[in-house]
Chains A and B, each alone.
Chain A
């Protein structure tokens, strides 16, 4: 446990805890609402914000946050008004965000930033200021879910019924995507923009099978995210690997183990029946 004495490791663990809370809550909503592609679109569009932030000389997380929130609102409006064409537009925004970000980074004078840290994460280099920023975003997400759980739950389970009961389903959906954008910003430091989609889907997917309610799914998913993050972090430290990729590798291996176990146990039960 010598590694715990290092300040950067302590910050990494704290970042992992903060990211896991967002992952568990928002990831569960992403999985049950089947908006994995949209969340991927938001994450990749956010890269345009990272590029813009470098170009303007402001905080990359702030730039990514602004782009992600705008992308979330646009994607919500498109999905609500033209579901048939939504995937095409989201795909275009996904690519545009990445291209825009790279062009702006190219145009930034004296550019010497490690782009890889935003694409694949840099949990071992999270400064205290980012931790505060992440904690604030977590607080917003937690307040949101506590205040509107009933409406979110109803819309996620049965949108049409929720609408018949007077729930403003379009607004609930739009705010859900905005919260997804905030979670994306939170996760940039931990796994990077490209790998976010895995963290938002793998822990909730596994948790879904073990949960009798959405609340429980969020809690189990957060705990699984934390376990994967800490295990990935440890592997990264020991084997000198990229931290974000290590975290996703641990998650993915767990995911395949779970799928295999699930299939085998089901076929075993069927044989017994």
Chain B
């Protein structure tokens, strides 16, 4: 990996919430064009790492560079959260939500060309037909694509997504990941996910986070990865191979399926 192609560089990152250590001595790089999947147990530090890379949280120590700059507001970075903080009922249309992503970066008054651009993004994500609908009226998959449209509205080169398909049915999940694969042709994609099944089909690399981080430049789930991320041993997997597609921390109840 040449230095020129590195879009994210993290060195010796440490972070704690008070006395509770969350990330310890984390170092890794993300190259342009990668599709990185970040896996790990709940509380392992995945979302915290994402928030530090986005500049929402400040690391206790370490050197972090996003496109050579310290984390913070950047037109080159897009972010798709798992959910929005507003509850259901918030009055906002699909178009308005997507436009928010463009205007927060661009500033100034909304111009016709901004709306035109947004309509193009909505079209690409196949939700242009619901552009004037309220977010409330959409399915889980459509809502998630609106959040992706909002992130794409600033024309990013690096897209971070936090559990983008967690509240979506199987068909919706496939559509979202197919879409991400398409986007990955023109931008770097980093997905935090519990879903290990996406790795072989979509990812080009995997990062296992459980306080420490191990990055693998390969797109398959190995025993080593599961051990690093979840503490799963090969013996445990032999008991129940279905562990490979388990969500979150492998659950013992699967043994009953023998």
Contact = CB atoms under 8 A, between A and B. Distances in A.
Contacts of B86: 32, 156-158
B148 to A, nearest CB: 12
A160 B85 contact: yes
B230 interface: no
Given A163-B56, A212-B93, A213-B93, A34 B73 contact: no
B33 interface: no
Interface string B104-138: 11000000000000000000000000001010000
Interface stretch (B95-103, B212-220, B232-240): B95-103
Interface string A134-150: 00000000000000001
Contact of B91 (A154, A164, A165, A212): A212
A166 B72 contact: yes
Contact of B73 (A32, A150, A165, A213): A165
B92 A213 contact: yes
B79 A214 contact: no
Contact of A212 (B56, B72, B134): B134
A153 B91 CA distance: 10
Contact of B79 (A157, A164, A209): A164
A258 B54 CA distance: 43
Most chain B CB atoms below 10 A, which of A161, A166, A167, A217 = A161
Nearest to B162: A160
Interface in B59-97: 72-73, 77, 79, 81, 84-87, 89-93, 96-97
Contacts of A162: 104
B152 to A, nearest CB: 13
Contacts of A158: 81, 84-86
A7 B100 CA distance: 47
A156 B84 CA distance: 10
A34 B87 contact: yes
Interface in A180-224: 208-209, 211-214, 216-217
A162 B103 CA distance: 11
Contacts of B92: 157, 212-214
A252 interface: no
Given A164-B54, A213-B92, A214-B91, A157 B100 contact: yes
Contacts of A163: 54, 56
A34 B85 CA distance: 11
A160 B50 CA distance: 12
Nearest to A218: B91
A154 B81 contact: no
A236 interface: no
A254 interface: no
Contacts of B79: 161, 164-165
A108 interface: no
B104 A165 contact: yes
Nearest to A163: B56
A211 B81 contact: no
B150 interface: yes
A159 interface: yes
A160 B162 CA distance: 12
Contacts of B85: 157-160
B55 A164 contact: yes
B104 A150 contact: yes
Given A162-B104, A166-B72, A211 B91 contact: yes
Contacts of A212: 91-93, 132, 134
A219 to B, nearest CB: 11
Contacts of A166: 55, 72-73, 104
Contacts of B101: 165
B105 A208 contact: no
Contacts of A216: 91
Contacts of A159: 85
5 contacts: A150-B104, A157-B84, A157-B97, A164-B77, A166-B72
